[in-house]
């Protein structure tokens, strides 16, 4: 079974463009599998696109706030976990 480690939490969600703003507590790279979990949120997806201030990036560091395109709506304070295969 895959292991999960908490990597951050959602600080904002842009519904029209389906982008979650995530405050990271650790590094995150494009291609990583993540799990969004909250009271009404529970889904996994691969990180296909990530941005800081509208600039596409391959990798983000701890304490960065990044925009991640998400397949389902998320809510503020939802937790974000990285799935370690």
Q: Given this model, what pLDDT does residue 85 score?
A: 81
Give me the pLDDT at residue 7, please: 98
The domains located in the chain, with CATH, are 3-84 (2.40.30.10)
* CA 57 to the chain's CA centroid: 13
pLDDT score at 36:
98
pTM across the whole model: 0.94
pLDDT in tens, the chain (85 residues): 789 999 999 999 999 999 999 999 999 999 999 999 999 999 999 999 999 999 999 999 999 999 999 999 999 999 999 999 8
pLDDT at position 69 is 97
């Amino acid at each position: 079974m895959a292991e999960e480690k908490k990597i951050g939490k959602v600080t904002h969600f842009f519904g029209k463009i389906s982008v979650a703003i995530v405050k990271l507590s650790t590094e995150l790279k494009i291609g990583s599998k993540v799990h969004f979990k909250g009271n009404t949120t529970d889904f996994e997806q691969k990180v296909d696109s990530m941005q800081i201030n509208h600039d596409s990036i391959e990798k983000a560091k701890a304490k960065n706030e990044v925009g991640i395109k998400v397949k389902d709506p998320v809510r503020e304070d939802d937790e974000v976990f990285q799935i370690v295969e």
